[in-house]
Every structure is written in C-alpha cells, then in structure tokens.
Copies of this chain bind each other. A is one copy, B any other.
Amino acid sequence: MRIRVDVSRPIYQQMIDEVKRAIARGELKPGDKLPSHRDMAQEIRVNPNTVQRAYREMEQGGLVQTLRGLGTFISDDPTLVERTRDEMARRSILAFVQEMRALGFSPADIVALVEKSVNEFSDGQKDLRDSIQGIQQTGVINSE
C-alpha cells in the first residue's frame, strides 16, 4: 500500500493554474492587467517572491507579458484562450480517466457514468460547488 501525503503543491504553480483556469473560463481576457506582484502578494498573503516567480514562469510560457513600469498583462494572443482551455481540459480529462480506470471502471462504465452525471447537472452547479468539502482556501482575491 502507498500512502502519500502532499504538503501542498508549490504555491507559484497553484497560482499559474488559477490564472490559466481564469483565462480558460473567460474570467481573465487577453490584455487584462494583473495586479502588481506586491498587491497580489498582499491580497493572497503570500511572499512577493512567490508571486514574482509565478509571473516570471507565466511570461516564459507566453501566458502573460510584462511591460516594465506598466505591469503584467494577459497575452494578446488570439489563440490563447482556446489553447489554455484545451490544456486545462486535457489535464482534467487525463487525470479523471486515469483515476476512474484505477478504480476499476471500464471505458464503457466511465462514459456511461459521465453521461449520467452530466445530464443531472443543470443549473444547480454553483450550489453544488460549495457543498464539496474538498478545497480549503487560504487567500482569495477578487479583481475585475
């Protein structure tokens, strides 16, 4: 048996994922300005260096553009939203299918279960979301 305890993903990676998710969902649009790393750091109560690292890696990945003295902006790339959405979706699907296979579900089972779940899933989503005990949050920032 294997028991794993993760002490939590590195914060800068979590931040990158959150930005990607926001882009994919349309909550952040190309051209939008991110808070300065100092502001961001203060709001989510994280070391400014950590934010800077997240911004730096996002820049290297083409996700954002940093203009000295002006700030950091979501890249003005017309394919960005699409690409990000696909990446996030691919990751999601892969992890999901792997987990379900590991639990012993056949491909047919998985499809059937998702089909059933997706249909029951109408407007009540937002409410369902809160009822998931899964994720504890440390800091939440609300810009826009």
Instruction: List residues of A whose CB falls within 8 A of some B CB.
Output: 1-11, 13-15, 18-19, 21-22, 24-28, 32, 40, 44, 46, 60, 85, 88-89, 91-105, 107, 110-111, 113-115, 117-119, 121, 125-126, 128-129, 132-144
Contact = CB atoms under 8 A, between A and B. Distances in A.
Nearest to A18: B3
A91 to B, nearest CB: 8
A89 to B, nearest CB: 6
A64 to B, nearest CB: 12
A75 to B, nearest CB: 15
B138 A7 contact: yes
7 contacts: A1-B143, A3-B15, A4-B18, A4-B140, A7-B137, A92-B100, A93-B117
A135 B9 contact: yes
Contacts of A119: 107
Contacts of A26: 104
Contact of A114 (B9, B28, B110): B110
A103 B92 contact: yes
Given A92-B96, A132-B95, A3 B101 contact: no
